Amino acid sequence: MRKSNPAVINQDRLPRHIAIIMDGNGRWAQKRLLPRTMGHRAGMNTLKEIVRTCSDIGISVLTVFAFSTENWKRPREEVDYLMALLIEFLHKELAELMQNRVHINILGDYHVLPRECQAEISRALESTRDNTGLVLNIALNYGARREILEAAITLAGQVSRGEVDIKEVNEDMFAGLLCTGGLPDPDLLIRTAGEMRISNFLLWQIAYTELWVTERMWPEFTRDDLYQAIGAFQARDRRYGGLNKTRQDKNHA
């Protein structure tokens, strides 16, 4: 049985897919005179809570930006710690993820990660493969430009081999070749720590996504903040380039 939702959320108008840029771990730690690694650990605890909340309230897909293709530029010690946290998260949380029927996907090329990470990822993917609850997409070694380029190369190869007629190529066909193929595009993109940029995340998929930015650092982000973001999303008028019905009626009056 799902937990009851706060009054701010309309259960009938939940976003199907929420994407999150989890930013501010390092700054959260530095403000507290702690090592940046402690910010990442606090951020992992936040991730546990948000995954649990999304599962509880009935969100279909949650995509989190965990490690970008650009993050390799960070100090080796920090990257190693992030890899260790990934192993810890998947190992310790797998039982609860299974209990909540969470299905894990990895966006990006995880085969270049350390062997221990690859092994834990493979175990999690296999264990949750048939789960029918929340789809948890973890973006690892992910960059949207590379994702789009690789999809274009794949499609070009299909056309050159005669498997696809170039005249039949459309947006749906191309979207199916992306890491999120078969999933709905994000309805809501949340970014923490106040930065007003997309950071090479899901560039194709967020064409009509509603954006919600908070000054809160990721380790400070709570389920109440998630409810606030969803409430703001539900209050918006999503027109996808058109007009809302009230405005259309006025124009035709």
Active-site residue, selected from the candidate residues 5, 10, 12, 23: 23
Active-site residue, selected from the candidate residues 5, 56, 71, 109: 71
**Within 10 A of 18 (CB to CB), how many other CB atoms are there?**
25
Instruction: Tell me which DSSP letter residue 108 carries.
Output: S
Nearest to 103 by CA among 46, 44, 183, 49: 183
**Distance (Å, rounded) from C-alpha 232 to C-alpha 4?**
19
**Known active-site residue 71:** yes
Token duo for residue 55: 């599962």
Residue 181's alpha-carbon distances to 12, 48, 243, in angstroms, are 25, 25, 29
Residues carrying an active site annotation: 23, 71
